[in-house]
Structure 1
Amino acid sequence: MKKALTIVLALVMALSMSAMAFAADATADAEAILSEIADVAKDNSAWDAVEGALTDVVAALEDKTAELADVEGEVINLNTVLEGIGLPSVDGLVDSLKETIKGMYAGETATVPETTVAEPIEDTGSASVGIAAFAAISVAAAAAYVCTKKN
């Protein structure tokens, strides 16, 4: 019983020491995020329009005789529908989809990756949390060892 209690105590101590490393951002407002999700979810007609636009894009892609302009038109229609319901940052998805479609019809295009300078890594202090968790586990292991020696 003492061994099990010691192990449970060690796990609780380790989890309590390391929980800070995985804590959520304190500046995020959960109320605002949930209200935005609820506002978008209320408008079912918008989701029906998105589903219809996606169906049209898939149908155009499956039609091997379709012209490239027709397929791009369906993708533009999907982009318009997504922007209509207020989804930002779909340009990257649409560009990727366009490149995939062009690759199906015209082959791969060679792209040169852009070189970037590495940003300096900020000190987050998470090493101290790891050291604290290691210390807690070490103390618990020592306590478990002592408990086994007494018996």
Structure 2
Amino acid sequence: MLTLHLGVSPTHAVLDGMSDMPNTRPSVAVDDEISEESTSLAIDDTVYVAVGKDVGESKSTLLWAIQNFSMKKVCLVHIHQPAKMIPLIGGNFPVSRLEQDELRDFQELERKIMHKVLDDYISLVSSSSGPCRKALH
């Protein structure tokens, strides 16, 4: 099984199937265990790049992946961490005190904002390489 261990932040991770990466790569540890899953990953031609919600913060990692894996497809991955506090005028409001419909509306707004951010990343990738897709979890 292929496992990705992130040291500091998911914004600085690049995972490419089972390919060897140059020494200048971001700090990422990958554990390999021979299995059918890792065999199928070995022939995958997609590079998965974990990005954060700040395009400026993850831009260098993304550009590094594009430069070093120019023949691969790129899939941007963002793991959403739901907010515990909602910024309001005059302070923050705990999510736990919201009604269900208010919480659902706020979470939908967060998702829309993150999709817009991922679209900004995609426009950056499209100008530097080929097609790109996104995954928001």
On whether the aligned pair clears a TM of 0.5, the verdict is no
**Could you say which structure has the higher strand fraction?**
2
TM-score by length of 2: 0.26
TM-score by length of 1: 0.24
User: Over alpha carbons, which structure has the higher Rg?
Assistant: 1
